[in-house]
Amino acid sequence: MDIYRAHVLVCGGTGCSSSGSATLIERFNEQIAAHGLDKEVKVIRTGCFGLCEAGPVVIVYPDGTFYSHVKAEDVDEIVSEHLLKGRKVEHLVYVEHATHEQNAEKKLDDINFYKHQHRIALRNCGVIDPENIDEYLAMDGYKALEKALTTMTREEVIDEVLKSGLRGRGGGGFPTGLKWKFTYQSQADQKYVACNADEGDPGAFMDRSILEGDPHAIIEAMAIAGYAIGASQGYIYVRAEYPIAVKRLSIAIDQAREYGLLGENIFETGFNFDLNIRLGAGAFVCGEETALMHSIEGKRGEPTARPPFPAVKGLFEKPTMLNNVETYANVAQIILHGADWYAAMGTEKSKGTKVFALGGKINNTGLVEIEMGTPLRKIIYDIGGGCPNGKKFKAVQTGGPSGGCLPESLLDTPVDYDNLIAAGSMMGSGGMIVMDEDNCMVDIARFYLDFIVDESCGKCAPCRIGTKRMKEILDRIVEGKGEEGDIEKLEALAETIKATALCGLGNTAPNPVLSTLKFFRDEYEAHIYEKRCPAHHCRSLLQFKIDPAKCKGCTACARACPADAITGTVKQPHVIDVKKCLKCGSCMEKCRFGAISRE
């Protein structure tokens, strides 16, 4: 094996790839070769680092220098300065949001974004080359599988998972070990393990990152699960919209087969297990377990009633154990380090860590993995760096379309399954979208409902028709056409859908409306009764006004207006004709005197 004096790790996750990290890698390789360093420095494309806001990101080891927002033209400088001369390129080094500190000596773990994290599921993401099984093996890869197969009984494996307190990371939070146990107990000639990689929550991308950054972790965990429940075949159901994940997963499966870690007689224990990938066409509801299985079977992806549960009758009518990607990502570590190690982390009923996808009005957008029980405030402020541009925090949405919006007063809520539900939201798959004072909460509810309306499978009447009607009511409220009784109608519909819908997605579909009604009812009322959007967001309810006292008559606004709605003579205060105004905001952007306001 070749020894290199330095490694350049370039993020090859979807985020950094789309901002050009592939070009960076080419450029690094060219430049390194041009400087004759190709025997000394190796460039590695890793999975996602998590700090997507700073992408494309590059780390140079052994120094651990963390470069952010790296452009192709920066590569020459990093190579000629850092790699050739050993001088770190200070001006390309990551800048801390809170302190504006730019310190080339700071290691990854010293950065605010990383130092509060505890990475178990994401342990190898951004660390290894996901397309090279040797790198995974070097990180204790497949050791857990070996341990399970050679030293543990099937019952012991299940018991370990059970004792670890691991719960389903896809959103349901069902105890993983129990699922394994139930499927183990089912008698059948054939059983299946399946992996739910149909990540569909808007803003959530932890499953994608794990598959892109550490695909072997999933393969190893599924093999362990197969051994435990007695299945020789597994299916990974992954969205077709995740091409990088699919590619790396395919490579990883091939490599695992080549190494005898999938296939027949694994570790010479007589255990046979193999995996197949099934591509999903991107229906949100196919994340629901029965719908997912129908989709794998080639049927229309829509849920069916349970019982029978998949543990009894699942894929192809055989007992099937389905776990989410992130759930699996914890399994090998639990087997390797023991249930007690894992259960020592987290809260009473929620053990271990959870990955969240931070997004929205937050400085450090990206993936974070924190110990269960970490307060929302810590995640949003200490890790996420708070809202950008000094805007005031208004709410945080967790749990995707099934979750809810929590206000500032609940920021000290420790994040775990039960506390989030008690607070009026839910864990979901781990989307965490921050909203600031400019976000209209009625419009936010409408956004999520719009998603649900698009994604409803159409099988059951309450979800098919009810969510559409709720969306129509929200549409008219934000358009300033809300009527007295609309809130009550929303509540009646929400309650009915929640109580009667066929599947979990339908049951939780009204949550964004219910939680915003609970915490931000005044915003709804302002829209309906005062025809006013308190966040000055809803266009139909906005009026742009020029303050004559502040207007200098510079005419910039009038020139910017696409609708000729602004009139006035030079050096005299201008006036907006509200009838002509398109409410585009161009005037406000152009005004240098702060004379234009939205009301």
Partner 1 sequence: MDNMITLTIDGVSVEVPQGTNVLEAARKAGVHIPTLCYLKDINEIGACRMCVVDTGARALQAACVLPATNGMVVKTNTPAIRKYRKTLLELVLSAHDQKCLSCIRSTNCELQRLCRELGVENGDAFKGVQNEYAIDDVSPAIVRDNNKCIVCRRCVAVCQKVQKVGVIGPVMRGFKTAIESPWGLKLNDMACINCGQCITACPVGALHEKDDTAKVWAALQDPSKHVVVQPAPAVRAALGEEFGIPMGTSVTGKMVSAMKRLGFDKVFDTDFGADLTILEEANELVERVTNGGVLPMITSCSPGWIKFCETYYPDFIPNLSSCKSPHEMVGAMVKSYYADKAGIDAKDIVVVSVMPCTAKKFEAARPELGHNGLADVDIVITTRELARMIKEAGINFNLLPDGDFDSLMGESTGASVIFGATGGVMEAALRTAYETITGETLEKVDFEAVRGTAGIKEATIKAGDLDVSVAVCSSTGKAAEVLDAVRRGEKNYTFIEVMACPGGCVNGGGQPIVDADTRASVDVRAVRASALYGEDAGKPIRKSHENPEIKQIYADFLGKPGSHRSHELLHTTYQKREKYTD
- Contact yes or no for 304/294 (Cβ under 8 A): yes
For residue 97, give every residue at least 6 positions away whose Cβ sits within 8 Å of its Cβ, in sequence order, or none. Answer: 112, 363, 364, 385, 386
Minimal distance in Å, beta carbon 169 to partner 1?
A: 21
Minimal distance in Å, beta carbon 284 to partner 1?
A: 10
Cβ proximity to partner 1, 141 vs 462, nearer residue: 462
Extract the tokens encoding 330: 């914890």
Cβ proximity to partner 1, 82 vs 179, nearer residue: 179
Cβ proximity to partner 1, 407 vs 428, nearer residue: 428
Cβ proximity to partner 1, 7 vs 349, nearer residue: 349
In 212-251, which positions are buried (b, 16+ CB within 10 angstroms) versus exposed (e)? bbbbbbbbbbbbbbbbbbbbebbbbbbbebbebbbebbeb
Query: Cis ω on the peptide bond leading into residue 307 (within 30° of 0)?
Result: yes
C-alpha angle 578/580/585, rounded to 5°? 75
Cβ proximity to partner 1, 132 vs 304, nearer residue: 304
Cβ proximity to partner 1, 277 vs 421, nearer residue: 421
Cβ proximity to partner 1, 468 vs 583, nearer residue: 468
The full DSSP string for 305-334 is -SSSPTTTS-GGGS-EEEEEHHHHHHHHHH
Minimal distance in Å, beta carbon 349 to partner 1?
A: 16
Extract the tokens encoding 523: 């915003």
Minimal distance in Å, beta carbon 468 to partner 1?
A: 4
- Contact yes or no for 285/302 (Cβ under 8 A): yes
Minimal distance in Å, beta carbon 174 to partner 1?
A: 12
Going 254 to 255 to 259 to 262, the CA torsion angle's sign is negative
Minimal distance in Å, beta carbon 402 to partner 1?
A: 14
Cβ proximity to partner 1, 260 vs 485, nearer residue: 485
Q: Please state the separation of Cα 104 from the chain's center in Å.
A: 29
What's 286-297 look like in SS3?
A: HHCHHHHHHHHC
- Contact yes or no for 464/456 (Cβ under 8 A): yes
Cβ proximity to partner 1, 444 vs 490, nearer residue: 490
Cβ proximity to partner 1, 500 vs 597, nearer residue: 500
Does an H or E element contain 141, and which?
none
For residue 207, give every residue at least 6 positions away whose Cβ sits within 8 Å of its Cβ, in sequence order, or none. Answer: 197, 199, 324, 325, 326, 429
C-alpha distance from residue 588 to each of 390, 555, 576 (Å)? 19, 12, 11
Minimal distance in Å, beta carbon 303 to partner 1?
A: 9
Within 10 angstroms of residue 422's Cβ, the number of other Cβ atoms is: 12
The full DSSP string for 539-552 is GGG--EEE-TTT--
Cβ proximity to partner 1, 236 vs 452, nearer residue: 452
Minimal distance in Å, beta carbon 302 to partner 1?
A: 8
Within 10 angstroms of residue 76's Cβ, the number of other Cβ atoms is: 15
Does an H or E element contain 278, and which?
strand 271-280
Cβ proximity to partner 1, 423 vs 501, nearer residue: 501
Cβ proximity to partner 1, 84 vs 421, nearer residue: 421
Minimal distance in Å, beta carbon 11 to partner 1?
A: 35
Minimal distance in Å, beta carbon 420 to partner 1?
A: 17
User: What is the rounded CA–CA span in Å between residue 434 and residue 386?
Assistant: 9
Cβ proximity to partner 1, 471 vs 574, nearer residue: 471
User: What is the rounded CA–CA span in Å between residue 516 and residue 538?
Assistant: 16
Minimal distance in Å, beta carbon 467 to partner 1?
A: 8
Radius of gyration from C-alpha coordinates of the chain: 26
Minimal distance in Å, beta carbon 347 to partner 1?
A: 21
- Contact yes or no for 434/380 (Cβ under 8 A): yes
Minimal distance in Å, beta carbon 505 to partner 1?
A: 12
Per DSSP, the three-state class of 337 is helix
For residue 375, give every residue at least 6 positions away whose Cβ sits within 8 Å of its Cβ, in sequence order, or none. Answer: 411, 412, 413, 414, 415
Does an H or E element contain 66, and which?
strand 65-67
Question: Under the rule (CB under 8 A), what is the footprint of partner 1?
Answer: 283, 300, 302, 304-305, 307, 453-462, 464-469, 472, 489, 492-493, 495-496, 499-502, 507
Minimal distance in Å, beta carbon 570 to partner 1?
A: 49
